[in-house]
Chains A and B, each alone.
Chain A
Amino acid sequence: MALNSVWVVVDRSADKVASVAFELLTKARQVAASVEAVTWGDASGIAEQIGAYGATALHTVGDLGGGLPGPAVAAAIAEKVSGGSGPDAIFLAQSYNGRDIAGRLSARIDVPVLTNIVNLSEDGLTTEHAIFGGTEILNAKFTGSGPGLYVIRAKSFAPEESGGAAAAVDTWAVPELGPVGAARIVSSHVEETQGPKLDEAAVVVSGGRGLGDAGSYKLIEDLAKLLKGAPGASRAIVDAGWVPYSHQVGQTGKTVKPTVYIACGISGATQHMVGMKSAKNIIAVNKDQEAPIFSISDLGVVGDVKKVLPQLIEALQKRG
């Protein structure tokens, strides 16, 4: 058996297609003969982009009317699958919406879901999962019938255009949702950041609990700015309220793959490392020589962030 047809759920953040969608479309094309995309909201505006990455069709469930994507997208897909016109596999991003859709869909059509996928075999049937902080790779596959639900981490595949024509757009009806669709978005808040986006930046400077206090995060922002990079964070300081969640790097946060990742006062917990260990270069500053982050760092500085960072910032400022 091989994968003949794959549907890719195209995640959007605000009005923009999330970059992970292009990664998933690219991979889908490599493992399957036929690739179609499913999304919500306006589709005609993105049909060209989606087609350029190889999807021939783009189905939308239409305007969500303030509802969350999970219930509507899952219900619409489930109806197609139950009606016998489902694909062999459905690819979704390991994102907030991706997981919501996958979970709902899984329960609706009674098929399992594999999450945290970081790679696929050539035939697309075997999944790879980085476990224990990425020290081991676990392989898995679906054994039952029905489309496998593949929930894939961002940055697992490099996006590549296929040169395809605009995808053909159509609208899928959403069946009556009842209570499952009752949640309503009343307002959306964007936490403004300056400079490049965290998951696209060539340089990421992240801070952790070792900074000592919220005010010291300014060192991270200053250094990031000087290096034209983006500031990131460990979960510890996000939970502590020092910086917004959108800064978080790691298992539950963003996956980054910059040219250089500079970890400052971060211990290197497994959940942090899975989000950054694919950086080309890793520099760490930590006062504890035994900190796990040093085991994956190309340059490890054993020292106090509050001494090293101001010196580094000053030296970079002098260079202009």
Chain B
Amino acid sequence: MKHMNVVVCVKQIPDGDQSSYKLDPSSHNLVRDGKLILDESDSYGVEMGLQLAEQAGGGEVTLVSMAPGSETSGLRTALAMGAAKAILVSDPALAGSDALSTAKVLAAAIKRAEPDLILTATESSDGYTGTIPVQIAEILGLPAVTFSKSVTVSGDKITVERQTEEGYDQVEVPLPAVISVTAGVVEPRYPSFKGIMAAKGKPVEELKVSDLGLDDASVGRAGAGQEVTGVEPAEARKAGEIVVDEGEAFQHIISYLERIKVI
């Protein structure tokens, strides 16, 4: 293939790990009012997209993201890595969207870019449903290969190593296709200073739900076919004995294993 236009879906998520996340007490949605950052899981897709476009000897990476508050911080990070441009869908009507509505919005945005290949992460760090990539593929009428740990292009066909319970399958898929990649599929580059400066001037097209030809009522809380009915603390597991090793700690492990009759 002489030219390869890649769309990479990138999610912009709250900074910090899951243990620092908060749910809004009334809506039970994840609080996303602070600055959002590029989901690290998506940096692999961005890198993969850049490498595939380079290998093809032409083409570019377009980012697609749905995020509240016209957030672009995470997009800027990916633009600084080398993506050419971005489409951002931001609309108050999207608050409370479930995975399927999110996929509908992303699919409609992706379509505008007419890509040869669509890359996503296998699952987002904050939502981790892992269903959005296949939902996008089904909506767009495309094949998908999920959980890809290696991706190579030959002609207009892609060969993927897809994780399985016991190992992996080698899967071939014609383009266009949706591919979800695992962390570790490639080593993401760090944005250079030049990249960061260039990112500031790269185009970010911001769209509303209506621009995508979708109905407000089919997305967001209005369109969600599921609701959170409550959140409660889980039964806590208590910390037990702590031993500081001074050369004898292995004995404690042996005694413990004896006590539980493992040895």
Contact = CB atoms under 8 A, between A and B. Distances in A.
A221 to B, nearest CB: 17
A42 to B, nearest CB: 18
A249 to B, nearest CB: 13
Contacts of B162: 96
Contacts of A181: 143
A132 B19 contact: yes
B153 to A, nearest CB: 15
Interface string B156-180: 0001001111111111111001000
Interface stretch (A21-29, A32-40, A210-218, A288-296): A288-296
A238 B233 contact: no
A183 B239 contact: no
Interface stretch (B58-66, B70-78, B122-130): B122-130
Interface stretch (B1-9, B97-105, B206-214): B97-105
B229 A139 contact: yes
Most A C-beta atoms less than 10 A away, residue of B143, B231, B254 = B143
A5 interface: no
B80 interface: no
Contacts of A186: 159, 169-172
A240 B184 contact: yes
A251 B182 CA distance: 13
A144 interface: yes
Nearest to B132: A103
Interface residues of B, number: 81
Contacts of A162: none
A259 B224 CA distance: 40
A130 B232 CA distance: 10
A277 to B, nearest CB: 6
B100 A281 contact: no
Contacts, number: 283
A116 B130 CA distance: 10
B155 interface: no
A189 B103 CA distance: 31
B141 interface: yes
B231 A137 contact: yes
A110 interface: yes
A287 B23 CA distance: 33
B240 interface: yes
Contacts of A244: 167
A140 B228 contact: yes
Contact of B131 (A13, A113, A137, A299): A113
Interface string A134-150: 11111111111010000
Given A142-B226, A270-B19, A108 B138 contact: yes
Interface in B103-156: 103, 122-123, 128-135, 137-139, 141-147, 149
Given A184-B172, A189-B170, A115 B250 contact: no
A115 B23 CA distance: 18
B225 A144 contact: yes
Contacts of A139: 228-232
Interface in A87-127: 94-96, 99-100, 102-104, 106-108, 110-116, 126
Contacts of A184: 171-173
Contacts of B149: 245
Contacts of B171: 68, 183-186
Contacts of A71: 138, 143
Nearest to A71: B143
Contact of B18 (A132, A137, A239, A289): A132
B205 interface: no
Contacts of A190: 166-167
B234 to A, nearest CB: 5
Most B C-beta atoms less than 10 A away, residue of A227, A303, A319 = A303
A307 B248 CA distance: 10
Interface string A251-273: 11000000110100000011100
A18 B165 contact: yes
A297 interface: yes
B253 A299 contact: yes
Given A13-B165, A137-B234, A202 B244 contact: no
Interface in B206-263: 224-234, 236-237, 239-245, 247, 249-254, 256-257, 260, 262-263
Contact of B141 (A96, A179, A252, A259): A179
B260 A185 contact: no
Per CB-CB distance, the 6 closest pairs between chain A and chain B, nearest first, are A303-B245, A103-B134, A239-B184, A144-B225, A107-B138, A103-B131
Given A189-B168, A292-B19, 15 more contacts: A13-B164, A96-B146, A100-B146, A107-B139, A111-B225, A126-B229, A133-B19, A135-B19, A138-B28, A190-B167, A245-B168, A260-B262, A302-B243, A311-B250, A315-B251
Interface of A: 13-14, 18, 68, 70-71, 74, 94-96, 99-100, 102-104, 106-108, 110-116, 126, 130-144, 146, 151, 178-191, 202-203, 227, 235, 238-241, 244-246, 251-252, 259-260, 262, 269-271, 277, 280-283, 285, 289, 292, 294-304, 307-308, 311-312, 315-316, 319
8 contacts: A13-B165, A18-B165, A106-B131, A138-B230, A191-B168, A227-B262, A238-B184, A285-B249
